[in-house]
């Protein structure tokens, strides 16, 4: 660490405070949605917005001429209802459109030290940020600063660093296409590719894994495919909490005759049974049973599951001929490579290996293989349960292996479906928010704006944290998000942020990243999705890309929470002008005056966006090209690749367990809506560890006992305290905890090969009684 930027003498704690009371426990829910979903949606909406504001705002969510939900990235159906939002979508909108405000008076009354003692829930509930604020070196409070001074200070800090690579520019997935494009343009004009983003922490394994074997880093299915498919295999995903509108698609699939196989350590309510909140017959009845076959896999046993299914398919072929095995040899011969090596690997893998890793029996996997073999079309879905392991990329490519076996690409009702989180995380990457941009993109950007973009790849999230920690990155700029709480190894991340000369947060609401900062910290308040964006040429709209590659518009309607709020494109443009100076030839002001100008520039740089301004104004927007959906593969030779991956080895010592971090039903990413997890039956507390009865008894513990959890990696022990034991139906040897409370246990140096995604679902821990 350089002497220029010493550690602060008084450091705000990086973790939320312990909870004083034990949670209340009930039986886990057996069904998702229904009347409770309606009641909770309305409770949050009315509590934050009031009656009139709730009605006008919720009726505009995901509607033509309205705004895109700031929550998940699930696509909108063509036959939208008047209430095109889910429970957690209503909570996300209510959080943003709240009437509560956080202004200078709030910061004057509350020191950073005092705010550090608040829970993440209480910080979020404080309200919308209304003024630019600055925390000066050594200060105990934030104070107001005007926009011109704030932008000037950030520009000076950037221009004073020794090299452009001594700055890093983070992006949250909710950033619009227009803001993301301007942001990456500014960063590359500044001279670096240091563009870490939230994709690095979630679906980077999907992008890297898919790109290498099918030639595109995105999913290959459309929403309509869910109504045409014969079978859906869901791996490592909890859509009832994380993507609730997906349940409607699964319900439609079931009613069209599809079979659903769920592979997950927890029997999540949203995958078992669903009551559609907008259908009276569902509310009165028992709802729709979704999962036909539930495979309760051990943590990170998915490669073993997929190898077991493949092994049975090969066995079926030897028993009865290829016409009943589900293996499409014609497709394999014409469109793939590596099949013989894949078969040899499967045949050499023993059932004892498969059963030990997966925690499942050969017979259970035979049932799954039978579904696969008898289904003319198969979709495989997944989320963080596959990506956040050291073998995350291998998990994704193993899923592709299964699909390739059956020829389930380029046909109706079949393909790969990575289900993204943030509403525009996929669009941000398309717009160039990436530390490792393609040469094609850089060349197109350079031609359009007449400059030479930096060629050296930049820093993803984990390397950026390590670079801040070592003093190699001195200025850290965040366009949205709550970086401290989202990142792994909370204490290490906090030390890294404290070692920066300046940290800057573009935010809508208060969060813990505003409390653990560099020497100087600046908060720049921005407009939210729900709010009217008025520029000199008139009201503007922005665009986003959903999980299935559809680009559409989003137009806020509400009066901004403060007249001082700026849009993200305007903030970026002001920063670019201030940092690059008046001699910079890009007309940043023109692009912000009218976002159509930004979209015209995007159309000439980013493939698939021709006639952007015309097509995005069409109903439902437009669909980006997808080579796999269209029947081909984007690899250099046009062939998809079978790959060979070993079953991961978890060498647990006596007393050790494997931990995964998960969301509660009352949160979205790091935003905490409440302290209840209705679907899992945990009320009034978040510092809990879900454990099997056997593991609890073997450690001499009891339900609700207070425990200390220690993680162990490469000789380093990390510890959290004040957690309560919750007996739960989870495989023995596995435990689950909520993030961000358990993020301090996730090692900074444990991440997926190739993608560098933190291994938040493969953390080796011990659990011990805390007196």
**pLDDT tens figures, 702-724:** 999 999 999 999 999 999 999 99
Mean local confidence (pLDDT), 728-738: 98
Mean local confidence (pLDDT), 425-437: 95
Q: Which CATH architecture has domain 657-769?
A: Beta Barrel (2.40)
Residue 697: helix, strand or coil by DSSP?
helix
All structural domains of the chain with their residue ranges:
27-95, 101-199+424-610, 205-418, 657-769
Q: Above pLDDT 90, what percent of the chain?
A: 82
pLDDT of residue 162: 95
CA angle at 16 for the pair 13 and 20, rounded to the nearest 5°: 120
What's the CATH number for 205-418? 3.40.228.10
Question: Per-residue pLDDT for 279 more than 80?
Answer: no
Mean local confidence (pLDDT), 638-648: 97
pLDDT of residue 604: 98
Mean local confidence (pLDDT), 460-482: 97
> Which pLDDT band, with edges at 50, 70 and 90, does 5 fall under?
very low
pLDDT of residue 7: 39
CA-based nearest residue to 263, from 418, 351, 382: 382
Question: Per-residue pLDDT for 586 more than 50?
Answer: yes
pLDDT of residue 10: 53
Among the ranges given (64-68, 436-440, 658-662), the one the predictor scored with the smallest mean pLDDT: 64-68
pLDDT of residue 4: 38
Residue 213 CA, distance from chain mean position: 22
Question: Per-residue pLDDT for 176 more than 60?
Answer: yes
Mean local confidence (pLDDT), 732-751: 97
Tokens of 664: 């509660």
Question: Per-residue pLDDT for 628 more than 90?
Answer: yes
Note if the bond before 740 is cis, omega within 30 degrees: yes
Q: Which residues contact 691 (CB under 8 A, 6 or more apart)?
A: 657, 701, 725, 726, 727, 728, 730, 735, 767
Bigger pLDDT: 339 or 66? Answer: 339
pLDDT of residue 91: 87
pLDDT tens for each residue of 90-130:
888 889 989 999 999 999 999 999 999 999 999 999 999 99
> Which pLDDT band, with edges at 50, 70 and 90, does 307 fall under?
very high
CA-based nearest residue to 500, from 6, 97, 65: 6
CA-based nearest residue to 767, from 724, 708, 702: 708
- Across the chain, mean pLDDT equals 94
Bigger pLDDT: 688 or 16? Answer: 688
Mean local confidence (pLDDT), 717-737: 97
The per-residue DSSP string of 239-253 comes to: HHHH-TTHHHHHHHH
Q: Which CATH architecture has domain 101-199+424-610?
A: 3-Layer(aba) Sandwich (3.40)
User: Could you say which DSSP state residue 526 is in?
Assistant: B
pLDDT of residue 321: 58
Q: Above pLDDT 70, what percent of the chain?
A: 98
The residues pairing with 72 across neighbouring beta strands, listed in sequence order, are 422
pTM: 0.95
Among the ranges given (15-29, 65-79, 568-582, 641-655), the one the predictor scored with the smallest mean pLDDT: 65-79
Mean local confidence (pLDDT), 296-310: 98
């Amino acid at each position: 660490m350089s002497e220029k930027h010493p550690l602060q003498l008084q450091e705000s704690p990086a973790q939320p405070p312990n909870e004083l009371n034990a949670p209340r426990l009930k039986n886990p829910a057996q069904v998702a949605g229904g009347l409770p979903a309606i009641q909770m949606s309305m409770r949050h909406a009315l509590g934050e917005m009031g009656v009139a504001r709730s009605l006008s705002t919720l009726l505009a969510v995901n509607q033509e001429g309205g705004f895109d939900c700031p929550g998940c990235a699930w696509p909108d159906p063509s036959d939208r209802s008047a209430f095109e939002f889910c429970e957690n979508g209503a909570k996300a909108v209510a959080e943003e459109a709240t009437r509560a405000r956080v202004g200078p008076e709030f910061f004057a009354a509350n020191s950073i030290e005092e705010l550090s003692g608040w829970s993440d829930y209480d910080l979020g509930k404080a309200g919308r940020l209304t003024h630019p604020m600055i925390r000066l070196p050594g200060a105990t409070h934030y104070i107001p600063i005007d926009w011109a001074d704030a932008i000037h200070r950030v520009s000076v800090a950037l221009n004073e660093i020794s090299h452009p690579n001594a700055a890093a520019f983070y992006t949250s997935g909710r950033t619009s296409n227009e803001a993301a494009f301007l942001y990456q343009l500014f960063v590359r004009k500044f001279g670096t590719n240091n563009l870490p983003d939230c994709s690095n922490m979630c679906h980077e394994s999907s992008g890297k894994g898919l790109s290498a074997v099918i030639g595109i880093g995105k999913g290959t299915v459309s929403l309509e495919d869910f109504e045409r498919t014969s079978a859906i295999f869901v791996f490592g995903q909890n859509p009832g909490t994380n993507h609730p509108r997906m349940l409607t698609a699964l319900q439609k699939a079931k009613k069209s005759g599809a079979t659903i196989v769920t592979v997950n350590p927890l029997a999540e309510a949203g995958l078992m049974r669903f009551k559609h909140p907008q259908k009276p017959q569902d509310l009165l009845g028992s709802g729709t049973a979704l999962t036909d076959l539930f495979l309760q896999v051990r943590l990170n046993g998915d490669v073993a599951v997929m190898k077991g299914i493949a092994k049975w398919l090969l066995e079926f072929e030897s028993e009865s001929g290829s016409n009943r095995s589900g293996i499409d040899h014609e497709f394999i011969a014409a469109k793939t490579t590596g099949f013989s090596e894949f078969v040899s690997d499967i045949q050499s893998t023993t059932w004892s290996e498969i059963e030990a890793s997966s925690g499942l029996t050969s017979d259970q996997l035979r049932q799954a293989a039978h579904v696969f073999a008898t289904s003319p079309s198969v979709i495989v879905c997944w989320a963080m349960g596959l990506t956040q392991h050291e073998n995350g990329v291998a998990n994704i490519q193993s899923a592709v292996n299964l699909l390739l076996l059956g020829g389930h690409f380029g046909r109706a009702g079949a393909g790969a479906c990575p289900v993204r989180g943030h509403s525009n995380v996929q669009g941000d990457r398309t717009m160039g928010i990436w530390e490792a941009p393609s040469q094609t993109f850089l060349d197109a950007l350079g031609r359009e704006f007449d400059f030479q973009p930096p060629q050296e790849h930049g820093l993803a999230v984990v390397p950026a944290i390590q670079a801040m920690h070592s003093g190699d990155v001195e200025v850290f700029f965040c366009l949205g998000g709550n970086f401290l709480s989202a990142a792994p190894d909370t204490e290490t991340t906090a030390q890294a942020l404290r070692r920066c000369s300046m940290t800057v947060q573009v935010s809508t609401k208060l969060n813990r990243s505003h409390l653990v900062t560099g020497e100087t910290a600046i908060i720049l308040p921005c407009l939210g999705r729900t709010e009217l964006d008025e520029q000199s040429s008139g009201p503007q709209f922005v665009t986003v890309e959903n999980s299935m590659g559809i680009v559409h518009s989003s137009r806020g309607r509400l009066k901004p929470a403060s007249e001082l709020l700026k849009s993200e494109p305007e903030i970026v443009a002001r920063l670019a002008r201030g940092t690059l100076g008046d001699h910079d030839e890009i007309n940043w002001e023109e692009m912000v005056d009218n976002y159509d100008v930004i979209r015209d520039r995007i159309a000439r740089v980013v493939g698939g966006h021709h006639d952007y301004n015309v097509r995005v104004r069409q109903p439902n927007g437009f669909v980006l090209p997808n080579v796999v959906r269209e029947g081909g593969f984007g690899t250099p030779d046009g062939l998809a690749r079978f790959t060979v991956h070993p079953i991961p080895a978890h060498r647990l010592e006596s007393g050790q367990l494997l931990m995964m971090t998960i969301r509660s039903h009352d949160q979205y990413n790091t935003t905490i809506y409440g302290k209840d997890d209705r679907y899992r039956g945990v009320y009034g507390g978040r510092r809990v560890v879900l454990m099997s009865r056997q593991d609890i008894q073997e450690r001499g513990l009891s339900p609700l006992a207070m425990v200390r959890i220690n993680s162990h990696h490469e000789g380093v022990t990390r510890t959290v305290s004040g957690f309560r034991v919750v007996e739960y139906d989870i495989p023995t040897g596995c435990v689950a905890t909520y993030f961000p409370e358990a993020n301090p246990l996730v090692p900074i140096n444990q991440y997926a090969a190739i993608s560098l995604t933190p291994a938040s679902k493969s953390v080796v821990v011990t659990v011990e009684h805390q007196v």
